[in-house]
Amino acid sequence: MLKEGTDAIVREVGAMRHLVDEFSQFARLPALKPIPGDINKAVQEAVALFRVVGEQTEGGKVEVLLAANLPQVSFDGEQIRRVIINLLDNAIWAVRDLGENGLVTVATRIVDDTMVAVSVTDNGSGIPANLMDRIFDPYFSTREDGTGLGLAIAKRIVEEHGGKLDCSPGPEGGTMFTIRIPVDMDPMRRI
């Protein structure tokens, strides 16, 4: 009986440490180190971590649609990849029950010559309308194992780039997250 109680305490302490680490990361993100680069390359590197380009995953297929001739933008590659990885992880989780019918699409495009956009879209069940305005709130999560900090951190990173992170229903159901970063990056500019 004592061992079971001790094991439960050890698990709880481990979970608390993880939460404290996530909170610390949210509270003091590394300083932004933007350099001119190709956002398509950052997308490819993020997707490669999942090793799913054109392959089936436990959550369906991941499709990558990269626009040609995108202008360079100044961005912190590590931080932007982190945002894309978080969005991909969430999208793959959202379609996990659809099997081979699950589809996650990552796409890039230019927006009216001033912004480059990266969208991550899934065909899952979507986010209920009554929760849509809370998804970027720290500690809010619809996932049982979520800390509720992933999207809050992602939004903060994108805003530090002078950009914007939006969420909307996907064109064919599911959810679409769109990152917009200005072509003429200025860290003091806010969209």
Q: Which domains does the chain have, with CATH numbers?
A: 31-182 (3.30.565.10)
What is residue 44's DSSP assignment?
H
127, 86 in Cβ contact below 8 A?
Answer: no
Question: For residue 21, what pLDDT is reported?
Answer: 55
Helix then strand then coil, in percent of the chain rounded to 5, is: 40, 25, 35
Q: What is the pTM of this model?
A: 0.78
Pairing of strands 60-65, 103-111: parallel
Lookup: tokens for 153: 């951190």
73 Cβ contact partners less than 8 Å away, ≥ 6 residues apart = 36, 37, 39, 116, 181, 182, 183, 185
What is residue 53's DSSP assignment?
B
Give the integer Cα–Cα distance in Å for 126 and 169: 7
- Strand-pair partners of 169: 175
Residuewise pLDDT in 10s, the chain (191 residues): 545 545 555 455 455 455 545 544 545 567 888 889 999 999 999 998 876 444 445 557 889 999 998 998 999 999 999 999 999 989 998 898 888 899 999 999 999 888 999 999 999 988 888 888 888 888 777 777 667 788 999 999 999 999 999 999 998 889 999 999 999 644 444 44
What is residue 130's DSSP assignment?
T
Number of Cα atoms under 13 Å in the Cβ half of residue 8: 5
Question: For residue 10, what pLDDT is reported?
Answer: 46
Give the integer Cα–Cα distance in Å for 155 and 149: 10
Give the integer Cα–Cα distance in Å for 168 and 145: 23
40 Cβ contact partners less than 8 Å away, ≥ 6 residues apart = 66, 67, 70, 108
- Per DSSP, the chain holds a count of helices (H) and strands (E) of 4, 8
What is residue 165's DSSP assignment?
E
